[in-house]
Structure 1
Amino acid sequence: MKVFLHFLKPYWKMSLITLIVVIFDVVGALMIPTITADMINIGVNGGTIEQMIQKGLFMLLVTVLSGLGALLGSWLCAELSSRIGKDIRDEVYDKSLAFSSSDFERFGTGSMITRTLNDTNIIQQAFVIGIQMIVPVPFMCIMGIVFAFNINKDMGVLVLGAMFLVVLVASFIIKKASVIFSKLQKFLDRMNVVLRENITGVRVIRAFNKEPHEQERMNKSFEDYAKASIKANQLFSLLDS
């Protein structure tokens, strides 16, 4: 996290604006059901058409502002992600220039390729997902509970209990998935090594008729990665359901 904050520090103003925009979008999304409930109450209690129109216009305004916030938040997240990815790749490249031959042998070419390409892409994706999906969750939970208690006390208690249950299940799934993702990293490094060896040594492989053996190695590395990835996705699909 400290390393990530190091790359995020030059863009702290842009990050703050992004958070504000995302929170604004969340507030708008939560206000729509509340305004709808108010309109229903006005209709049931015999309110005037003018009150309904006022609520409808207010709902339209909130919807437009919330939509603009969602679009602006997505653009800012993508811009921040691209800038952070560029800085990370520059740092990795500059650091690799200082490596000795023994350092390269210790890390391995496949690992270096993974760090420069795939790992940076994962960091960028995690940043976008974190800003757009993870960061708004606490605000949505707090505001949702507050709105629920304002409507009905029993409903607020029900929402609070459901949130507590979801947090427990999510913590268990994340703990299980973290172990799988550690294995995925090793499998990905292995895939890069096998692919590189097959590409650079294709003439030697053909000369000694090693195609079946190399095909088996490649299939094994792909299958190991696929099985671990499927298992991780199954855990997260359980959380989504």
Structure 2
Amino acid sequence: MIEMLKHLKPYRTKLIFVLVFSLAAILFELYLPTLMADIVDVGIVNQDVPFILRTGALMLFCSFMAIVLMVGVSYFASKVSLGFGRDMRRKIFVHVEHFSLQEYEKFGSASLITRTTNDVKVVQDVINMMQRMMTRAPLMLVGGVLLAVSRDRYLSLIFLAALPVLALVIFVVARKAIPLFSSLQKKTDRLTLILREALTGIRVVRAFNRVDYEKNRFNIANEDFRDTGIKVGKLMAFMFPIMLIIMNFTNIAIVWFGAIRIEQGDMQVGNLLAFIQYAAMILMSLIMLSMAFIMIPRAQVSAKRLNEVLMTKPLIKDPINEEFAEDEAGLIEFNSVIFRYEGAEKPVLEDISFVAKPGETTAIIGSTGAGKSTLLQLIPRFYDVESGSITIDGVNIQNMLQSTLRGKIGYVPQKATLFSGTIAENMRYGNDQAGEGEIREALKTAQALDFVEKREKGMHSKLEQAGSNLSGGQKQRLSIARSLVRKPKIYLFDDSFSALDYQTDRKLRDALKQETASATILIVAQRVNTVKNAEKIIVLNDGKIAGIGTHTELLNDNTIYQEIVASQQNGEVGA
């Protein structure tokens, strides 16, 4: 939690205002019982009406000032807490955007969403409460005790019995609350994960008639969350009646023993009334502190989760001094590259060496799990190699800024990803300066212009989240068009033609060859028809290169490639 408070430095001035206003408001409030005692002991006893009116007017002024100052406290406290929440969400989002895929996979999208929204909100609310209560309550407690003692030090001994009991209740509840709050946040993550999976995978759920299964899975997580929440609620429900009982018995003791002291002539009625007021302030400040102490454990759990994200350093970093290529043609070279995922015993890719030249298409083919997509993801540095190197135009990609490196690349992922907005806005994701003519040309090359123009508003038609109002082939073609709008030196197609029929696949590849004649093209594909016209085909098997050559060369002397071709021909015959 202390780490989180460091992020409040930009709001130091407002925090000072909160502290000063709180102190001033409390001084006015603490003065009110003294004025009331004077009215009773001086004004009423002596029947001095002018004194009563003057003192009453002063009480009204003090009350008004206390109200105005507390409004100021609320205003500045809200500005600080809401500003903190805004800044923290921005920091987490920006920090996560710099994560490599390894860090992203470590947390998971559901947990990152919960941390950015729910956990930030919890800490924000506690910061707001701390400004209002944690500044007000200690000052009121100290001031109330001092003034109560000044009124009657013997009657103040009652607090020696009440305060330890209150402190014990707060300690016991806080000790039980911390693990429950930690568990509650984890169950929030689980609930978010299940809900997200059910909503994003709704087509699969319905296709396999698993609606009831998903309902049951959600209900189990939901009820688990509810049960933990009820336990927390029971703790709160137990705490406040106990504290009210202690407060009421304290007031009874004060009135009881105060009456005895008045009877003995050791205390005046006004003093007893003032003492009761100070006692109420002391006990109220303790209740405010207890509320803060109950909320702080939950905020500590949330703050810890936020710090875990912020303290996670991306494994992939930019170099201190960037190197630049003399000739930016897009030549890619793999030199004895080895890569393994974190925690894996065996490398996914081993001893990978090849050259992909500008103006040529280099295709990568192999069985499922051979490492084809992983190889492609190493080029834009989604992951870093374990050993060996990857160079572009003779410069190691680790010596380039990530923005510079990725600016050279047009990447089309295996799973087409589109964003909510218009088709044109999605196209400009690759190049925000692209005009409608450029977008139209890219759509035409990607064989997407026909279906785009059939929509009511053409390229200005709206897309739903993740392009859910498009077919798989349409999404793939728009993803390809988006990379074409960028006009990069290097194109990476990660099985980006799998949802296309053979005729569209052929037309698209022919159009691409003309559009990207001078660029370096790497294609990952499962289908032989997609890669057979490539100038170079790399056959991957179990993370190693099993052969490099043209379609004809590999068909003549590469057993693995022959098996792939034979299996696809047999599949087509069978179909």
TM-score above 0.5: yes
Q: Residues 148 and 159 of structure 1 are in contact (CA less than 8 Å); yes or no, is this contact kept in structure 2?
A: no
Following superposition, the deviation at residue 42 of structure 1 comes to: 2.0
Q: Deviations over 1:12-52 (max 9, x none)?
A: 11111111212222333333233222212124532411211
Q: Distance in 2 between matches of 1:139 and 1:27?
A: 9
Q: Residues 78 and 128 of structure 1 are in contact (CA less than 8 Å); yes or no, is this contact kept in structure 2?
A: yes
Q: Give the partner amino acid of 1:220.
A: I
Residue aligning to 1:200: 200
Q: Residues 35 and 55 of structure 2 are in contact (CA less than 8 Å); yes or no, is this contact kept in structure 1?
A: yes
Residue aligning to 2:126: 126
Q: Deviations over 1:40-76 (max 9, x none)?
A: 2124532411211121011011100000011111111
User: 1:162–1:16: structure 2 CA closer, same or farther, 3 Å change rule?
Assistant: same
User: 1:160–1:76: structure 2 CA closer, same or farther, 3 Å change rule?
Assistant: farther
Q: Distance in 2 between matches of 1:56 and 1:113?
A: 55
Residue aligning to 1:214: 214
Q: Give the partner amino acid of 1:182.
A: S
Following superposition, the deviation at residue 99 of structure 1 comes to: 1.0
Q: Give the partner amino acid of 2:219.
A: N
Residue aligning to 2:75: 75
Q: Which runs of 5+ in 1 are unaligned?
A: none
Following superposition, the deviation at residue 85 of structure 1 comes to: 0.9
Q: Distance in 1 between matches of 2:69 and 2:198?
A: 48
Residue aligning to 1:12: 12
Within 5 Å, give how 1:62-211 maps onto structure 2.
62-211=62-211
User: Any idea what SS the aligned residue of 1:45 has?
Assistant: helix
Larger helix proportion of the pair: 1
Q: Distance in 2 between matches of 1:126 and 1:191?
A: 23
Residue aligning to 1:223: 223
Q: Residues 184 and 225 of structure 1 are in contact (CA less than 8 Å); yes or no, is this contact kept in structure 2?
A: yes
Q: Deviations over 1:206-226 (max 9, x none)?
A: 111111111111111111112
Q: Residues 173 and 239 of structure 1 are in contact (CA less than 8 Å); yes or no, is this contact kept in structure 2?
A: yes
Q: Give the partner amino acid of 2:158.
A: L
Q: Residues 184 and 229 of structure 1 are in contact (CA less than 8 Å); yes or no, is this contact kept in structure 2?
A: yes
Larger strand proportion of the pair: 2
User: 1:237–1:136: structure 2 CA closer, same or farther, 3 Å change rule?
Assistant: farther
Structural RMSD (CA): 1.5
Q: Residues 25 and 66 of structure 1 are in contact (CA less than 8 Å); yes or no, is this contact kept in structure 2?
A: yes
Q: Distance in 2 between matches of 1:76 and 1:160?
A: 36
After TM superposition, the score normalised by the length of structure 2 is 0.41
My pick for the range that moved more, 155-164 or 75-84, is 155-164
Q: Residues 146 and 156 of structure 1 are in contact (CA less than 8 Å); yes or no, is this contact kept in structure 2?
A: no
Residue aligning to 2:394: none
Q: Distance in 1 between matches of 2:227 and 2:174?
A: 18
User: 1:239–1:19: structure 2 CA closer, same or farther, 3 Å change rule?
Assistant: farther
Q: Deviations over 1:142-180 (max 9, x none)?
A: 111112112212321213432232122112211111111
User: 1:26–1:226: structure 2 CA closer, same or farther, 3 Å change rule?
Assistant: farther
Q: Distance in 2 between matches of 1:38 and 1:27?
A: 17
Q: Distance in 2 between matches of 1:27 and 1:131?
A: 17
User: 1:37–1:234: structure 2 CA closer, same or farther, 3 Å change rule?
Assistant: farther
User: Any idea what SS the aligned residue of 1:209 has?
Assistant: coil
Q: Distance in 2 between matches of 1:132 and 1:105?
A: 39
Instruction: Say if 2:227 is the partner of 1:236.
Output: no
Residue aligning to 2:418: none
Q: Which runs of 5+ in 2 are unaligned?
A: 242-575
Q: Deviations over 1:60-119 (max 9, x none)?
A: 111000000111111111111111111111110111011111212110111100111111
Q: Give the partner amino acid of 2:170.
A: A
Q: Distance in 2 between matches of 1:219 and 1:27?
A: 52
Residue aligning to 1:37: 37
Q: Distance in 2 between matches of 1:49 and 1:55?
A: 10
Q: Distance in 2 between matches of 1:55 and 1:44?
A: 12
Q: Residues 145 and 160 of structure 1 are in contact (CA less than 8 Å); yes or no, is this contact kept in structure 2?
A: no
Aligned positions, number: 241
Q: Residues 44 and 52 of structure 2 are in contact (CA less than 8 Å); yes or no, is this contact kept in structure 1?
A: no
Q: Distance in 2 between matches of 1:20 and 1:191?
A: 43
Q: Residues 194 and 218 of structure 1 are in contact (CA less than 8 Å); yes or no, is this contact kept in structure 2?
A: yes
User: 1:234–1:23: structure 2 CA closer, same or farther, 3 Å change rule?
Assistant: farther
My pick for the range that moved more, 158-167 or 84-93, is 158-167
My pick for the range that moved more, 42-51 or 76-85, is 42-51
